[in-house]
A = this chain, B = another copy of it.
């Protein structure tokens, strides 16, 4: 159950209207790396986490709720950056001071023209408020969020999401010189860094967490690096030497076309790794048992109830 306090988490202020900046700030209101995307991602992940991992559920709901609160800060800032537009639009009978949009020579070269240029929807659809869309007018879409029912995957999705959101705030800060807005952005950007560290710490408490999910990598296909763009190639720790944390070496396939042909499409590899394959299968069974039991044992028998209300069921 959610509650709302009319005080913002951060005291957002704006020195003067700026429709151009309001428009690009939409990116963090209704954009792919914005606050709604973050809030809905963690909120949706939390449902699956609740029973097997109540501690992670608690963390996901804490952070999701903070992201909703950030969404409100961003929306409030956009609304303040568009001050004046709603009032102008309500002056609907303004017949004497006709605006000339085409040639821009109008006497009334004002906030409403800036808004129209920055984002036609500010004057046509939202009447000077935030829209749940990005800076190019694309409505927010749930395909922006990732929630896959496995914390070793979901927490990694979150590390990536926080990284992207941080970068967008960093870029946004270049396009305003309003010290109040800059301070709000600095707060929001920093919280993405803090959340990153929370998710990193949480992922570290799950061991093993690699490979993500349950199954191990198939030893026959783990080590090859296929040099499929072969000219001007570089060597680096991603194709040469030891695979990080895997206890194996990379196997650089210099000429993949030939290699694939001679191995009959990788089905006739020189080293069939029979022993490793057996070990992998045993590990798969062990991991399956453990991970599956972890979930199943946390689910109550019989009628399910979400909250801990006292009434008998």
Contact = CB atoms under 8 A, between A and B. Distances in A.
A188 to B, nearest CB: 9
Given A3-B4, A7-B1, A48-B86, A164 B146 contact: yes
Interface string A8-25: 111111110011110110
Interface in A209-237: 210-215, 217-218, 220-234, 236-237
Given A2-B2, A27-B125, A175 B309 contact: no
Interface residue tally on A, bucketed by range: 35 or more
B172 A124 contact: yes
A92 B143 CA distance: 26
A296 to B, nearest CB: 4
A207 interface: no
Contacts of A306: 8, 11-13, 76-77, 79-80
Nearest to A285: B93
A292 B123 contact: no
Interface in A126-163: 126-150, 152-153, 156-157, 159-161, 163
A215 B194 contact: no
A24 to B, nearest CB: 5
A291 B88 CA distance: 10
Interface string A36-50: 100010011001101
A268 interface: yes
Given A143-B144, A236-B201, A11 B48 contact: no
Contacts of A137: 134-138
Contact of A309 (B11, B127, B193): B11
Residue of A13, A128, A261 with highest tally of chain B CB at under 10 A: A13
Nearest to A282: B93
A228 B3 contact: yes
A154 to B, nearest CB: 9
A277 to B, nearest CB: 10
A18 to B, nearest CB: 5
Contacts of A123: 24, 171, 174-175
A213 B58 CA distance: 29
Contacts of A215: 92-93, 170, 173, 189
Contact of A93 (B121, B175, B230, B288): B288
A71 B156 CA distance: 24
B72 A2 contact: yes
A66 B259 CA distance: 14
8 contacts: A5-B231, A5-B257, A20-B116, A121-B135, A126-B147, A129-B149, A190-B222, A193-B217
